[in-house]
Amino acid sequence: MNTESVKVLIIGSGPAGYTAAIYAARAGLKPILYTGGQPGGQLTTTNDVENFPGYPEGINGPQMMMDLQKQAERFGTVINYGMVTSVDFSGYPHKVVVDENTEIIAETVIIATGATAKYLGIPSEEKFNNKGVSACAVCDGYFYRGKEVAVVGAGDSAAEEATYLSKLCTKVHLIVRRDEMRASKIMQQRVINTPNIEVHWNTETDEILGDDSGVTGVRLKNNKTGESKEISVQGFFLAIGHKPNTDIFKDFLDMDETGYIKVIPGSSKTNIEGVFAVGDAADKVYRQAITAAGTGCMGALDAEKFLAAKEMETAHA
């Protein structure tokens, strides 16, 4: 197995990973970044990003990630395509294996592996992804102003997304699989009190319907009666949760029950010294490109401080 040593290893290549790379590289820390299985992260599946400050005309998601990559490389970040397959944070420095054939000895590790939206698993979801199917109402709701949309889910995030969309759209159909919601009482109340939200109880999504222009409707099936019906919508929003891409760290890092990495509030520090978590791998609340970028900056600054303190220790040893 090949072995290499680095001061700062960044795992992941979305807004958080690239921002961490820009800051670490400018600080002269010569970071190495591994892109992971989806270079550019979730934003590469988004056509139009209109809410990232500094782009008055909006920007295409993949283009934005390419710009961030170039900026990170400009300051000397080494970007490698590869998947981190295992880690060992039991001692110091940290050991990370990439593609099962390269071992990296890292003084600091910044985890920016992101999260993946959960999908229903029906073929039409994939077919209409970005053509009316979305996993983020805050990101994409604006494109459906004055239109009719559907939201699938029964938890707080589904209730939140439906309420958010109700302010923009003429009507929101909330598709709930059982005869009750998992959302907190206050969120349920908000949904029920919103006149343009219609809840479809005991209902599964059978198929998303559409044509070359995108989504035109959805076929629903009632669990109790087996009855099918079609409703006309232009947007279909998934709100059945996200799964953070953190499984390989679970033997070492403190996480919540879903797998989001716990950090010391107001920082990017994990329970292991020299390991920092940024972006959607540690954020289940905001999940925006801009907040991910902000925590990426925090991760690099925290890593820089940690390395400076380590150097002082060595000098005084």
Q: Which positions are annotated as active-site residues?
A: 136, 139-140
The pairs formed by 198-204 with CB atoms below 8 angstroms and a separation of 24 or more are 198/171, 198/172, 198/173, 198/174, 199/174, 200/173, 200/174, 200/175, 200/176, 201/176, 202/176, 202/177, 202/178, 203/175, 203/176, 203/177, 204/175, 204/177
Residue of 167, 3, 183 whose CA lies nearest to 97: 3
265: number of Cβ within 10 Å: 6
State the CB neighbour count (10 A cutoff) for residue 251.
11
Helix (H, G, I), strand (E, B) or coil at 299: helix
Whether the CA torsion 283, 288, 293, 298 is positive or negative: it is negative
User: From CA 90, how far away is CA 215, in angstroms rounded?
Assistant: 49
**CB contact set of 199 (below 8 Å; sequence gap of 6+):** 174, 176, 191, 192
Nearest partner of 17 among 81, 112, 98, judged by Cα? 112
Q: Where are the alpha helices (DSSP H) in 170-253?
A: 185-192
- Ranges of H-type helices in the chain: 15-26, 61-74, 123-127, 137-140, 156-166, 185-192, 289-316
Indicate the DSSP class of residue 71. Answer: H
Please give the Cα distance from 191 to 230 (Å, whole number): 22
